[in-house]
Chain A
Amino acid sequence: MKSIFIKLLFFASVIGLSSCEDVIDIDIQDGVEQLVIDAWITNKDEDQVVKLSLSQPYFDNSTPRAVTDATVILFDEDSVAYPFIDLNQTGEYTLPREANGFLKENKRYALYVKYKDQEFAALSLYRPVPKIDSIAYEFFEFPFAGQDSTETSGYFAEFYANDPIGEGDTYWIRTTKNANLINNAASISISYDGGFSPGGGTDGLTFILPIRQSINDGFYQHGDSLDVELWSITPDAYLYLLQVRQESANGGIFATPPANIPTNIFNLDSRSEVKALGFFGISQVSSLSAKIDSTKARPSE
């Protein structure tokens, strides 16, 4: 099974013939600046942060401007308010770690943001998450190095978890390799009932192999650490991330027409022309860490 990976790469290089990519300059029209809300609230034992910034022209590579004069409040179903404060004026509105621990399973939460007389809101649900049972890894060797890599051998890891029975469970798998979060948008790993997408018939199964193996970024080597997190996201977060991934790696001959990434943030005044970008999600997180140890590797096939 592992060798599929090598072979696919080999075919890709055979088929690839002489295709190439050149970075070029293009002139495009600028749009109007918009509020961007980046909010993930989890049960992780750390400060909870809601980031506010402004959108900018697409090819403007300067640091985005932070929004520091907004009001940010999280509400639970009983209208209990959890205010987030931008103490350092960096646009990072924070609920301190000590105040955390209030999230309750299957309860809905609302984020409220007020900026320049416009009031925005978004809803999410705190869903249960299965535990990660184990992480296994196996050694193998490439005939040649992969793209953007010089390593020809190493360990290929996979995690094991089971999707609970009941359709419509959606997940985000986030991996940290040697304390660096693998944050490449093109390789965002999301799962629907342990499979790729709805209708996959995978409800109640062990997460399928390609998802289990989605925690790799090149090879792991002896001594490397990896932390795998399984996030229980809502189905609309799944769709949001799906679109983020799609729009981040949408080149080549099988590209789809570019489309805007949907947001779950809405203006409380539905007649207002002012819209916000970004996403608000609540998630329960289970995690498991491992340190690659050559003596504990699964025997090769």
Chain B
Amino acid sequence: MKKLLLLGFFCLTSFVGFSQNVSLSGYIRDASNGEGMIGVSIYVQELQTGTQTNAYGFYSITLPPGTYTLNLTSIGYGQQTQKVSLSESLTRDFEMNDEASQLQEVVVKAEREDANVKSLEMSVNKVEMKTIKKMPAFMGEVDVIRSIQFLPGVSSVGEGASGFNVRGGGIDQNLVLLDEAPVYNSSHLFGLFSVFNPDAVKDVKLIKGGIPANYGGRVSSILDVRMKEGNSKKPEFTGGLGTIFSRFAYERPFLEGKGSFIVALRRSYIDVLAKPFLNEDLKGSQFYFYDFTAKGNYKINNNNTVFLSGYFGRDVFGADFGFNWGNATTSLRWNHVFNDKLFMNTTVFYSNYDYLLDSDLNNEEDQDSFRWESNIENYSIKPDFQYYINPNNTLSFGGQSIYYRFNPGQAEAVSGGESRSIGLPDKYAVESGIYIGNEQKVNSRLSLQYGIRYSDYRYLGKGNKVLLNTEGSVAGEQKEVTDIIQVGQGELIQQYGNWEPRFSANIGLGRNSSIKVSYNRLAQYIHLLSNTTASSPLDVWTPSSNNIKPQISDQVALGYFQNFDDNNYEASVEVYYKELQNQIDYTRNANLLLNPAVEADLLSGDGRAYGAEFYLKKNRGKFNGWISYTLARTERLVDGLNNNEWFPARIDKMHNLSLVSIFDTGKKWSFSGTFNFSSGTPASFPTNKFIWQGIALPHNYYDTRNSYRIPASHRLDLSATLQNKHAFFKKGESEWVFSVYNVYNRRNPFSVYVRQNEDNFAQTEAVKYSVFASILPAVTYNFKF
């Protein structure tokens, strides 16, 4: 990899040497708090060309010397016009005001560049945090992951399930990044809330297709969550009291604005409220969840900025027994501007997810106890370079190396005073990737993005290599373990490598419309073993091995993008087709926990997903929001299941319609509403029953899977926000948010299943199970000063 990087450098320096033009570069920041702004478009009127800021707010554009008019635009910030004279390369930083604070200003009417139509990105959805905060929230708690489920192509297996599904992908096929560090379990409370504190999140971007070469490691999507850097202009407190959480965040500049930081804390407080009502037996109970998010940045000089961010969250249930789980991530990043054309970010991160079950937290029982823990942790280094060759070519290249340690489960059981350790050995793996990609404007109509990533994966000792008899076993049944070989430290057990080409193109059809097409291949080397409808916190991540092959997906997408009314309305239609290889499924009664030969209980199959997504969004005005509709199909083919024929995947939902509307009166009140309709997920039912020992047992004579559908779900949520002038003591601002979840009190089915009647075990019945079966109103108070 070093060699390749070095080679890259040589190429770059030679490019620079021959350049005739001069370049303009710098950062664009939010005027109110100094945050670097992501994805601001910089359009040069005279040359009808432009560029965008990257994830750190940096931009660079190469132009012939001259005087130019720049239009800076960003959704929610309107447009700003700047005159710049260039005789030699120049560094200019700009600041932009958000729309709310510039209502009085005269806005220059000019051509507005428009990302929806003009950018190369397709299958990408961004939701501004401002919008997320205005949408009706479940139990009044603003939630990033719940909000993105209103986007086209995104669904969930049911209300209250953890994670989200993108274009037919499992929840473990989304790479959820928090400041570039992966988050392994994005849920609190079994999936009811996501782990991201909305007060600390700056930007949320979901990439469903046309995934650029700098991303890798998961086969479905990338959810790139960026944290706020902290207000570098003035100290600020924000916070809120909700039904579930109380939140508090503090941000401020330090060293005369060269640096800033933010710390944000959330904690549920139902236990605090319940305490006085608990009797003696329950006094020591703990049941809460919290997360702590912090980030600081320091600008060493114009060319060097460092960022340090951390997240720590936990769910805790227990008393003298305990069950707790949580994520921790830390990432350190260094932004370096080599020169006005070459930008680098290097990220070093650590990420961990772990859980602990303990029957005897206080070590009071010496006769009988049980303690069990498991975790996944990794360390990574990831340098990324962006080289702005000329206005028509932006090269990105870089690499990543991740070191994984998996602890599939360590347990200690004491029975009758005798103790036994049940340990599965740790598993180790290294996943590395290098990539290079170019974004090229071929002419005013055609732009391309193309790149390639090579990923290399090594499953390493010290560990156990499990050998299975794959020939002699019945399809769909547990495989026979023929041998378990102990492999020494650092020894290679299995290696995989994959070339992952990425391509997308934008063909302009006029000022306001374009066609985009993309193809990408992605490889995934780690897998979440979960055989339940919704994922549970106990599910274990497992590495690819000699028996588990890496998952691979190939996706093509085609889209038509059109804007209307001076870009007030954005519309798009996309179709996609995705093929998945080496999808994990499970034998009947698969034992996924504390099983030394878990690989014997896994099946492998293929997947395919295809669909069409329709999206219409209104950006401006008192009344805005979007409609999205997805028509989709997701199927699996696994040897030994469903008579070896394709069957609908558990997450398959044919229709998915979402409406999000926000009405801002411009005065004290604002209102919002969301509606979602989605088809029922598939289900399997028995054909027959037989009585055995007085119990009615189910039997599916045809042995089919997922051949039925549960009823459709639909739900309306509303919220109203009352803006107060001041928070406390005539300072700051505050608001009351009143929200109602499931307004018309529908019992949406999570699942339908069959069971014995509880009064007569020989009788049978079908049951509809709803996670939320009532209206759930909530009130939240937010403040800022």
A143 at the interface (CB under 8 A from B): yes
Residues of A contacting B773 in the complex (Cβ-Cβ under 8 angstroms): 18-20
B762 contacts across to A, CB distance below 8 A: 61
Q: A12 vs B752: C-alpha distance in the bound complex, in angstroms? A: 21
Question: What's the A-B contact tally at a CB cutoff of 8 Å?
Answer: 258
Chain A interface secondary structure, helix, strand, loop or mixed?
loop
Q: What per-residue 1/0 map shows which CB atoms of A247-275 lie under 8 Å from chain B?
A: 11111111111111110000000000000
B769 touches A201 (CB 8 A): no
The answer to whether B605 has its CB under 8 Å from any CB of chain A is no
Who on chain B is nearest to A17 by CB? B772
Which of A51-59, A73-81, A110-118 is the contact stretch? Answer: A51-59
Bound Cα distance A7, B361 (Å): 14
Contact in complex: A254, B689 (CB < 8 Å): no
- Give Cα A22–Cα B281 distance, bound, in whole angstroms: 33
B691 A254 Cβ-Cβ under 8 A: no
- Known A-B contacts A11-B317, A18-B773, A257-B705; the reply to A56 vs B689 at CB < 8 A is yes
Binds B, one of A28-36, A100-108, A287-295: A28-36
Contact call B531/A256, Cβ cutoff below 8 A: yes
Is residue B190 within 8 Å, beta carbon to beta carbon, of the partner chain? Answer: yes
CA distance A34 to B708 in the complex (A): 23
Identify A262's interface contact among B158, B360, B588, CB under 8 A: B588
Residue B416 at the A interface, CB < 8 A? yes
Q: Among residues 733 to 785 in chain B, which have CB atoms less than 8 Å away from a CB atom of chain A?
A: 747, 750-756, 758, 761-774, 776
The reply to whether A243 and B588 contact each other, CB–CB distance below 8 Å, is yes
Interface stretch (choices B248-256, B259-267, B417-425):
B417-425
The residue in chain A whose Cβ has the minimal distance to the Cβ of B477 is: A262
- Among B25-33, B392-400, B589-597, the one that faces the other chain is B589-597
- When C-beta atoms are compared, the residue in chain A nearest to B417 turns out to be A206
Contact of A143 (CB < 8 Å), options: B281, B650, B698, B708:
B281
Q: Compute how far the CA of A17 lies from the CA of B138 in the bound complex, rounded to whole angstroms.
A: 13
A209 touches B691 (CB 8 A): no
Report yes or no: B321 in contact with A7, Cβ–Cβ below 8 A: yes
The verdict on B685 contacting chain A, using a C-beta distance below 8 Å, is: yes
Known interface pairs A1-B359, A251-B767. Does A28 touch B190 (Cβ–Cβ under 8 Å)?
A: no
A36 contacts B691, CB within 8 Å?
Answer: yes
Contact of A14 with B691 at beta-carbon distance under 8 Å, contacts A244-B697, A251-B769 already known: no
Map CB proximity to A onto B350-387 as digits: 1 under 8 Å, 0 otherwise. 00000000011000010010100000000000000000
B703 on the A face (CB < 8 A):
yes
Binds B, one of A119-127, A192-200, A222-230: A192-200
Decide yes or no: A58 and B415 within 8 Å by CB, A243-B588, A254-B532 being known contacts. no
In the complex, whether A277 has a CB less than 8 A from a CB of chain B is yes
B701 nearest in chain A by CB position: A31
Q: Which of B281, B703, B750 contacts A253, CB < 8 Å? A: B750
CB distance from A140 to the nearest CB of B (A): 8
Q: How many angstroms from the CA of A32 to the CA of B702 in the assembled complex? A: 9
Question: Contact mask B167-209 → A, CB, 8 Å, 1/0?
Answer: 0000000000000000000000111100000000000000000
Contact B158 A26 (CB under 8 A): no
Question: Could you tell me if B700 and A258 are in contact, using CB atoms closer than 8 angstroms?
Answer: yes
Is there a chain A Cβ closer than 8 Å to B78's Cβ? no
B531 (CB) vs chain A CBs: closest residue: A256
Q: Which residues of A contact B370 (CB under 8 A)?
A: 208-209
**Chain A, Cβ-Cβ closest to B706:** A257
On chain A, the number of residues with a Cβ less than 8 Å from chain B's Cβ atoms is 83
Instruction: State the CA gap A177–B575 with chains docked (Å).
Output: 62
A30 is contacted by which of B413, B688, B708, B765 (Cβ under 8 Å)? Answer: B688
Residues of the B chain whose Cβ atoms lie less than 8 Å from the Cβ of A70: none
User: Would B701 and A32 count as touching, CB distance under 8 A?
Assistant: yes
From known contacts A17-B772, A239-B589, infer whether A253 and B532 are also in contact, taking CB-CB under 8 Å. yes
Q: Verify B413–A202 contact, CB threshold 8 A.
A: yes
Q: Do A23 and B753 touch (CB < 8 A)?
A: no
Verify A143–B693 contact, CB threshold 8 A. no
Taking each of B688, B751, B762, which has the highest tally of chain A beta carbons within 10 Å of its own beta carbon? B688
Within the assembled complex, what's the spacing in Å between the Cα atoms of A18 and B742?
12
Query: A197, B591: Cβ atoms under 8 Å?
Result: yes
**What residue of chain A has the Cβ atom nearest to residue B692's Cβ?**
A38
- Which residue in A28, A36, A255 is a CB contact (below 8 Å) of B753? A255
A residues within 8 A CB of B705? 257
CB-based nearest A residue for B478 = A239
A207 interfacial by beta-carbon distance below 8 Å:
yes
- Asked if B346 is at the interface of the complex by the 8 Å CB criterion, the answer is no
CB closest chain-A residue, reference B162: A253
A253 touches B771 (CB 8 A): yes
**Is the CB of A165 closer than 8 A to any CB of chain B?**
no
Separation of A30 and B769 alpha carbons in the complex (Å): 23
List chain B residues, Cβ under 8 A from A260. 588, 699-700, 703
Contacts of A208 in B (CB 8 A): 368, 370, 413, 415
Complex contacts, B456 vs chain A, CB 8 Å: none
B686 touches A58 (CB 8 A): yes
Is B687 on the interface with A (CB-CB < 8 A)? yes
Q: How far, in whole Å, are A294 and B620 apart by their CA atoms in the complex? A: 75
Known A205-B420, A258-B685: A6·B708 in contact at CB below 8 Å: no
In the complex the two chains form, what is the Cα distance from A53 to B319 in whole Å?
A: 50
For B595, what are the chain A residues with a Cβ–Cβ distance below 8 Å? 199
Q: Known: A58-B764, A243-B589, A259-B588. Contact between A22 and B190, CB under 8 A?
A: no
Given A31-B702, A248-B695, the answer on whether A194 and B756 have CB atoms closer than 8 Å is no
Decide: A200 near B594, CB < 8 A? Known: A7-B282, A257-B650: yes
Chain A residue with Cβ nearest B705: A257
Nearest to B319 among chain A residues (CB) is: A7
Q: Is A218 an interface residue (CB 8 A)?
A: no
Within 8 Å of chain A (Cβ to Cβ): is B94? no
- Contact partners of A4 in chain B: CB under 8 A: 319-321, 359
**Cα–Cα, bound, A262→B769 (Å):** 27
B556 at the interface (CB under 8 A from A): no
Roughly how many angstroms separate A36 CA and B692 CA in the complex, as a whole number?
A: 8
Nearest-CB residue, chain A, relative to B476: A259
In the bound assembly, the distance between CA atoms of A31 and B705 in angstroms comes to 14
- The answer to whether the Cβ of B223 comes within 8 Å of any Cβ in the partner chain is no
C-alpha gap A278/B594 in the complex (Å): 30
B536 to chain A, nearest CB (A): 6
Interface residues of B in 657-716 (CB under 8 A from A): 684-695, 697-703, 705-706, 708
Q: How far is the CA of A177 from the CA of B773 in the complex (A)?
A: 36
Can you list 25 A-B pairs, Cβ within 8 angstroms, ordered by A? A3-B319, A7-B282, A7-B319, A17-B772, A19-B769, A19-B770, A19-B773, A57-B688, A58-B686, A59-B764, A143-B281, A194-B415, A197-B591, A199-B422, A199-B591, A205-B418, A206-B415, A208-B413, A209-B368, A253-B160, A254-B534, A254-B536, A258-B684, A259-B588, A277-B699
- Given A31-B702, A253-B750, 5 more pairs with CB closer than 8 A: A7-B321, A8-B321, A18-B772, A20-B773, A205-B416
- Minimum-distance CB pairs A-B, first 10: A31-B701, A206-B416, A31-B687, A259-B588, A20-B773, A201-B422, A201-B420, A209-B368, A55-B690, A254-B532
